[in-house]
Chains A and B, each alone.
Chain A
Amino acid sequence: MPAAIIGRKIGMTRHYTADGTHIPVTVIEAGPCAVTQVKTTENDGYSAVQLAFGEIKPRRSTMPQIGHDAKAGVSPRHVHREMRCATDDEATGFELGSTVDVKAFEGVKYVDVVGTSKGKGFAGQMKRHNFKGMCASHGTERKHRTGGSIGSHGTDRGHGAKIKKGKKMAGQMGNERVTVRSLDVIAIDVERNLLVVKGPVPGPNNGYLMVRAARRLYKRKAKKLS
């Protein structure tokens, strides 16, 4: 398993480099996580490591969950996430009940951060898809923020008399899983379990995040590494 960990978004601030340029950064409390389950091909059909983060009171957890955590010899945890491993050997390299902390990210330059974005509720096309809306005047009545035509139903290029799937319309915005890729790692503080990355990450402060070493870099950043 490449470096991966569960964390909590602390918030944003700024960071000055030695030459005085300032970088907007997000501080993430990354780990320490407990290994609560090791999955192997023989047992589960695939290999993975389950990490758990965030201590909670037992009464806030459930009996099955408490039992699951106790099996690994750790106190009840809030979030559990599975990290896939390439081989069984890699997975069994993690001992049940051992801790994974931000030290795993030492030497990692870029990370991906996965989180749940802030919910915006049922949003119109203008807010959700950046549509322009209609004219303010020129005879427009009660249609200033509509998306306009959604296509004639009879001639939708082989889709039959139906609107194309995935047509951009109003609907739920936010509160979904979002991955931001290839964020620069600015600082790692092993003592305080902090990971500082450049730019914003999804979700509210105190929201849970999954951080992993960048899986596929943007071209520009891949060039910088090589």
Chain B
Amino acid sequence: MNRTTVIENFEAAQLKNPSDVPDMRVGDTVDVHYRIIEGDKERVQRFQGVLISLKGRGINRMMTVRRIVANEGVERIFPVHSPRVGKIEVLRRADVRRAKLYYLRSRTGKSRRLREDRDEAPATKS
């Protein structure tokens, strides 16, 4: 069997169900439920922000979420298929023209906002 197929077969068992991963696009405002294990206790931490980058494919899929906490930009990178990442919700879809929104890092105030995409409402709005 071909090399890539063998690797993909091995990874397939670990990938999340497609129905558990919403259709995310760069520019979306997302809410990531991240499981934190402290000793034997487990709790869920939510991280809400703008999805500024999606990279990698298959099991290596990574999402970068940026939010502003106390006037300070905070970015977290989540492996989409990690068992620690629980639910991902798409709250708002924006009309963006870039694949990576790194330019948001140098923006402050009103210019930080993204224009909402009114034609394409997010599928999993709750």
Q: Mark B1-23, 1 if CB is under 8 A from A, else 0.
A: 10100110111001000000000
In the assembled complex, which residues on chain B have CB atoms less than 8 Å from the CB atom of A189?
Answer: 10
Q: Chain A's interface: helix, strand, loop or mixed, by majority?
A: strand
* Stretch of B25-33, B46-54, B76-84, B95-103 lying at the A interface: B76-84
* Stretch of A18-26, A36-44, A116-124, A126-134 lying at the B interface: A18-26
Tell me the minimal C-beta distance from A218 to chain B in angstroms: 26
User: Is A3 on the interface with B (CB-CB < 8 A)?
Assistant: no
Query: B37 and A10: CB pair below 8 A?
Result: no
In the assembled complex, which residues on chain B have CB atoms less than 8 Å from the CB atom of A19?
Answer: 37, 83-84
Query: B3 and A205: CB pair below 8 A?
Result: yes
Query: A15 and B14: CB pair below 8 A?
Result: yes
Tell me the minimal C-beta distance from A172 to chain B in angstroms: 28
Interface size of B as a range: 10 to 19
User: Is B114 on the interface with A (CB-CB < 8 A)?
Assistant: no
User: How many positions in chain A have a CB within 8 Å of any CB in the partner chain?
Assistant: 19
Tell me, in angstroms, the Cα distance from A140 to B83 when the chains sit together: 54
Tell me, in angstroms, the Cα distance from A196 to B14 when the chains sit together: 14
Identify which of A14, A18, A22, A194 contacts B6 (C-beta below 8 A). Answer: A194
Query: B83 and A14: CB pair below 8 A?
Result: no
Query: B79 and A22: CB pair below 8 A?
Result: yes
Query: B82 and A20: CB pair below 8 A?
Result: yes
In the assembled complex, which residues on chain A have CB atoms less than 8 Å from the CB atom of B1?
Answer: 192
In addition to A20-B35, A194-B6, 17 A-B residue pairs with Cβ atoms within 8 Å of each other are A10-B6, A16-B14, A16-B81, A16-B83, A18-B83, A19-B37, A19-B84, A20-B37, A20-B83, A22-B79, A22-B82, A27-B6, A189-B10, A192-B1, A194-B10, A196-B10, A205-B3
Which B residues form the contact surface with A (CB < 8 A)? 1, 3, 6-7, 9-11, 14, 35, 37, 59-60, 79, 81-84
* 18 A-B interface contacts by CB (under 8 A): A11-B7, A13-B11, A14-B59, A16-B59, A17-B83, A19-B37, A19-B84, A20-B83, A20-B84, A22-B79, A27-B7, A27-B10, A29-B6, A189-B10, A194-B6, A194-B10, A196-B10, A205-B3
